[in-house]
Amino acid sequence: GQQLNQSPQSMFIQEGEDVSMNCTSSSIFNTWLWYKQDPGEGPVLLIALYKAGELTSNGRLTAQFGITRKDSFLNISASIPSDVGIYFCAGQPFNTDKLIFGTGTRLQVFP
Amino acid sequence: DTEVTQTPKHLVMGMTNKKSLKCEQHMGHRAMYWYKQKAKKPPELMFVYSYEKLSINESVPSRFSPECPNSSLLNLHLHALQPEDSALYLCASSQTRTYEQYFGPGTRLTVT
């Protein structure tokens, strides 16, 4: 099925560093969502974005809905070991039930 | 409360078995979803139910049969599966079809 371009594919950072990842698409989206998934568990919703240009924070996480509606980014500030996992972006096109998922960014945090 | 529950957590079944996966939510959501996820891949949509009616079937083989008995429950009936069907099966729900989806913890299915 269709997937979004998500980068980077993986990141290896030191505890305390900031992290940035993004998703891009050739199509426009009505909604952008960011999820975190731990091994063997379901994705957990981190942030939902509904308006172009919207900037939303959830603790150390900040995400933005691109002004063109074709991209979104997620920043994590002052990373900690429990930030380890796979981060997925997901976009919902207009007038559809479906979520289009990004390919995922695998984050490793070293103490 | 944004909890979606799934049972069982793990399931091992033979290719001739019949089994069912169960999903439940009590958030009053009217859209429910089944996804299949292979290792290191994003979830792949299988089925969407909206107001207890099947609205999307992503060309899933008939050996997977979904059922939505009421607005809180979603089942996935499995019969004559293949080893390549082994995966993490995720259920999700949303307020309606165009709102954010909340996922359950998944059922790890192994077909032997």
Q: What is the pLDDT of residues B31-59, one digit of tens each?
A: 999 999 999 899 999 999 999 999 999 99
* Rounded Cα gap, residues A73 and B7, in angstroms: 34
Q: Which pairing describes strands B10-13 and B107-111: parallel, antiparallel, or unpaired?
A: parallel
Q: Is the separation of the CB atoms in B93 and B101 below 8 Å?
A: yes
Q: What is the DSSP letter of B85?
A: G
**Per-residue confidence at A74, pLDDT binned at 50, 70, 90?**
very high
Q: Does A3 touch chain B (CB under 8 A)?
A: yes
- pLDDT at residue A3 greater than cutoff 80: no
Q: What is the pLDDT of residues B55-110, one digit of tens each?
A: 999 999 999 999 999 999 999 999 999 999 999 999 999 998 777 899 999 999 99
The percent of residues in chain A predicted with pLDDT above 90, rounded, is 86
Q: How far is CA A99 from CA A49, A58, B14, B38, in A?
A: 13, 21, 32, 17
Give the closest-approach CA distance of A15 to chain B in angstroms.
24
Q: Does B73 touch chain A (CB under 8 A)?
A: no
In this structure, how many other beta carbons lie within 10 angstroms of the beta carbon of residue A42?
23
